[in-house]
Amino acid sequence: MADFLTRWQQLDWDDITLRIHSQTSRDVERALNATQIDRSGLMALLSPAAAAYLEPLARRAQQLTRQRFGHTVGIYAPLYLSNLCANDCTYCGFSMSNRIKRKTLDAQEIARECDALRALGFDQLLLVTGEHQSKVGMDYFRRHLPAIRARFSSVMMEVQPLTQSDYAALKPLGLDGVLVYQETYHQGHYARHHLKGNKQDFFYRLETPDRLGRAGIDKIGLGALIGLADNWRTDCYMLAEHLLWLQRRWWQSHYSLAFPRLRPCAGGIPAASLMSESQLVQTLCAFRLFAPAVDLTLSTRESPAFRDSVVPLAITQMSAFSKTQPGGYAENRPELEQFTPHDGRTPQQVAAALRGAGLQPVWKDWEFFLGRET
């Protein structure tokens, strides 16, 4: 069976860019009034012409979000297990060329992190590592995932791309979902930012979500790192094509989307294309109309004021009090961090802001008595 690579090869980056930028106000109005948004409708809603329609776009996005998800917002925390990495990437604080201190948590240190996260109220985790196959690979995951999963109702991972058999082996150990961001769908830009290591393989990464689908992973997270390519609108549209492909073939899985913008980090680069806050709102609302039932995630890369304003419109999952370094919750050591988060509020402060907006913070993904296997 073909992977998304088959569809990606049919897509012309420059043609898509021209089509998005040629959309008119009439195209935007047609999309806003449509019952279901198709590819051309998404192009219109991502276009510069849609900037003048941000208020009606936001109103419709908020209505759809409340209809599909009620007044709830899931809260999770990233747990960084290691900052070891065998890749050299221009935008990442964990890049092997950066002279930072390296740390991989052992079982005792992981337990301390879990204790600290539980004390903060978290019950949903995203496990994060640098990409280092030998020292932070399948042996490490097999050894530590079951103990972490026993403490939390939901565990996802954001690590190096694995094989289909590896994902299938991790699922009975407690893996609920995997985030694997393509970073950019432009092969040339991708090559300029991935200088050494396995992450240079654009196509292996591109095919990872298909391997997740074949392995039966419950939730698959997609995303583009906004600022790597020279046109963020085109990257976002390519992300939509990826989502459509996966939903039609691996319909048993759930999906989430994220649009992280570049943040300052050790050895970091300036963004090739800038997405303003209003443009991020436009993008999130456009995707809510395009994919009403998909989770949209917002991280602590964004400011507290911005997160408070945009979460009620389209967001269903958000991180809080993120520490982007191994051991960051039990022992704060900023010299180990991947990047500096913008929203440093405590989980309780984030939850209070949600309640103030009429939303209910949800700490637990599901209850064990519902019959799901651990």
Q: How confident is the model at residue 265 (pLDDT cuts 50, 70, 90)?
A: low
Q: How confident is the model at residue 374 (pLDDT cuts 50, 70, 90)?
A: very low
Q: What does pLDDT average to over the chain? A: 93
Structural domain including 166 reads 4-364
Domain assignment present for residue 265? The answer is yes
Instruction: Determine the Cα angle at 227 with ends 319 and 304, to 5°.
Output: 30
Per-residue pLDDT reduced to its tens digit, 22-62? 999 999 999 999 999 999 999 999 999 999 999 999 999 99
Beta bridge partners of 179: 221
Domain assignment present for residue 272? The answer is yes
How far apart are the C-alpha atoms of 26 and 244, rounded to whole Å?
A: 25
CATH number of the domain bearing residue 170: 3.20.20.70
Whole-number pLDDT of residue 278:
97
Number of domains in the chain: 1
Q: How confident is the model at residue 340 (pLDDT cuts 50, 70, 90)?
A: confident
Whole-number pLDDT of residue 264:
58
Domain assignment present for residue 369? The answer is no
Q: Is the pLDDT of residue 267 over 60?
A: no
Asked if 7 contacts 248 with a C-beta cutoff of 8 angstroms, the reply is no
Domain assignment present for residue 143? The answer is yes
Domain assignment present for residue 370? The answer is no
Which spans in 303-346 are helix H? 304-314
Per-residue pLDDT reduced to its tens digit, 348-370? 999 999 999 999 999 987 665 45
Domain assignment present for residue 344? The answer is yes
Tell me what percent of the residues of the chain surpass a pLDDT of 70: 94
pTM listed for this prediction: 0.95
Q: Is the pLDDT of residue 172 over 80?
A: yes
Neighbours of 302 (CB within 10 A): 23
Domain assignment present for residue 372? The answer is no
How far apart are the C-alpha atoms of 271 and 253, rounded to whole Å?
A: 33
What mean pLDDT is predicted for residues 131-139? 93
